[in-house]
Amino acid sequence: MQIRPMHEFDVPVVIAIEQEAYQFPWSEGIFRDCLRVGYVCRVVDVGTTMAGYGIMSLGAGEAHILNICVRAEFRRLGIARALMTYLLSRARSAGMREAFLEVRPSNTIAAHLYATLNFEKVGMRRGYYQAVGGREDAAVMRLILESNPR
């Protein structure tokens, strides 16, 4: 398994993974914008296959995990955990004090992963996600990245 920077030429494969995983996927433009503005965009390769990707923004002392996705056939192999650990390490190295993310309450597998990484639920965003037949709330989760906040 190798975690490496995402490049423009990776976007078509990233979009294919995204569309396979989500009913309401991000658009190509969103991924290209994340690259353009300099977000931390990484892909995970297993052999010659892209197994997943992650995107994180950094600023004002906060990291925001925007998107983590692993191909169905590579799930439950520790790839999402490795990618999250990598991104959180990058956030710490960049001097971020906290990390945030949103997760659908119905995505219990992801919520469990985040809890095992010591994220704590700190709020809800009502109607945050598009869903079949309407909207779904998002649980907002936070991780303190430094032991002695400034």
For residue 147, the model assigns a pLDDT of 56
Can you read off the two tokens belonging to residue 17?
A: 């993974």
| pLDDT tens-digit map of 32-59 | 999 999 999 999 999 999 999 999 999 9
- pTM equals 0.91
**140: CB partners within 8 A, 6+ apart:** 100, 101, 102, 121, 122, 123, 124, 125
The pair of structure tokens assigned to 107 is: 């995505």
**Spatial separation of the C-alpha atoms in residues 72 and 142, rounded to whole Å:** 26
In sequence order, the β-bridge partners of residue 54 are: 42, 68
23, 1, 29: which is closest to 14 by C-alpha? 29
What class, spelled out in words, does domain 2-144 have in CATH? Answer: alpha beta
